[in-house]
Amino acid sequence: MERCIKAILSIVPFKTFLLNRDCVKEHKLYQTVLSIIVEPLANELTTDAVKTISTNLIKVGVLYDTVYNRLHTGQWNAVATSEREMFTILTYVRIVYTLYASNSYEDAIKDSIYLADLGLMLGCPIGIECKNVATDLLTETASILTIELANSAKQEPPVKRIKLDDITAEINLTENKSNDVPIMECPSLECFGTRCYDTKQPAVLKGIIDGWPAMERWHDSNYLLKVAGERTVPIEIGSQYSSDDWSQKLMKFRDFLEQSICCEPSESAGKQPPAYLAQHDLFDQIPVLRADIAIPDYIGRTDAQPRIKAWLGPKGTVSPLHTDPCHNLLCQVFGAKLIILARPEDTERLYPHDHFILNNTSQVDARRPDYDRFPLVRDVRFYRLTLRRGEVLYIPPKWWHYVESLSPSFSVSFWFE
């Protein structure tokens, strides 16, 4: 246990780094309590100091709960950055005291990983440099904890690998092989720029992600469980985000994977609504998975820092017809997806929702349009394609797109300017 604590404490110099943050100095209560809590840690507290550990764990817990409640008061976009940064600091300190206080090594590691993930979702990133690599305080903390858990936990029985050949055969039987958008085999940067990016025309790109380690690793559920099984992720529950039955909940990645991806269709059908890890910053959260992919060269010509999102779910997950304001490369690592596109010029014929939260989303079911309810849809030209393993779809800004998983599926999207 002390080895793990020492590794986490070595990430940053406690007193000089944490106590000198503006979010601490600007709030007298935070500064006073943190100074008391941090002092023993800076002086190499040992697990024998039971009274100090238990007292300070209570203090940091009270302050943590206070800031947590402040984060959940009012609208999220109105929460001050300083409050979120304070939550990050308190999460880090609470993790250290949780490890010191626990009598169960494995349980303490798991509890601390959960705290780190909650801090990553609610807090504000605090940039650090570790081994000459730029990273984030809680990302590095979670990585240390995950490695420690993998080295100490009991070996779990292996789960089934996702059978790519079976998926391919099933898709070939059920889906039309026609494709309404151009297919380009590993185009040059100049070709992509002139034929796609500059003209804002969609295309399927082949041969550009074949070298990703993810292509060989991610369909092995045992690999995903090893590097991410204990992590907590936000999961969408329901048919699609524009429906009344839609909700979100936090789940252990292990539970989500075993319940929604690894199980046989007959085991899960009819028991529960679809669960979808959608539009999540998984690769910021888990750098090991980020190392399995690479930013396509086509993006670097215009944007050095694309937003990278993960999309993992079972057959039947749907993103309704909607638009995004930026360019998108949707990369299919395994599985297949039905994509239906429509031009920006057809926006008025696609009946966007009136509410500002959903005004980029159509009321029309692109796969089964109701022409009586939405008569103008008759004049819309839809473009259909099946995106398969190893293929990349370029979606220009403002193009409407409907996405449905035809099998268990893992995709990565790069949003860029």
Q: In the structure, what pLDDT confidence band is assigned to residue 262 with cuts at 50, 70 and 90?
A: confident
Query: Does pLDDT of 66 surpass 70?
Result: yes
Tell me what pLDDT residue 177 has. 63
pLDDT at 171 over 80: no
Closest CA to 222 of 161, 278, 164: 161
The answer on pLDDT for 266 being more than 60 is no
Q: Which of 85-94, 170-179, 222-231, 318-327 has the lowest mean pLDDT?
A: 170-179
166-416 — its CATH code? Answer: 2.60.120.650
**173 has a pLDDT exceeding 60:** no
Instruction: Count CB-CB contacts under 10 A for residue 233.
Output: 22
Residue 93, SS3 per DSSP: helix
53 pLDDT higher than 80: yes
Which pLDDT value is given to residue 213?
Answer: 98
Task: Taking residues 176-187, report their average pLDDT.
Answer: 86
Backbone angles phi, psi at 38, to 5 degrees: -75, -30
Q: What is this structure's pTM?
A: 0.90
Helix (H/G/I), strand (E/B), else coil: 303: coil
Q: Would you place residue 246 in the very low, low, confident or very high pLDDT band (cuts 50, 70, 90)?
A: confident
Mean pLDDT score, 335-360: 95
Does the pLDDT at position 48 exceed 80? no
What is the predicted pLDDT for the residue at 103?
A: 85
pLDDT above 70 as % of the chain: 91
Task: Report domain extents, the chain.
Answer: 1-152, 166-416
Which of 240-244, 246-250, 288-292 shows the highest mean pLDDT?
288-292
The model's confidence at residue 232, banded by pLDDT at 50, 70 and 90, is: very high
The larger pLDDT score, comparing residue 150 to residue 45, is at: 150
DSSP secondary structure letters along 8-77: HHTTS-IIIIITTSHHHHT-HHHHHHHHHHHHHHHTT--TT-HHHHHHHHHHHHHHHHHHHHHHTSS-GG
Residue 379 pLDDT > 60: yes
pLDDT of residue 194: 96
Say whether pLDDT at 210 is over 70.
yes
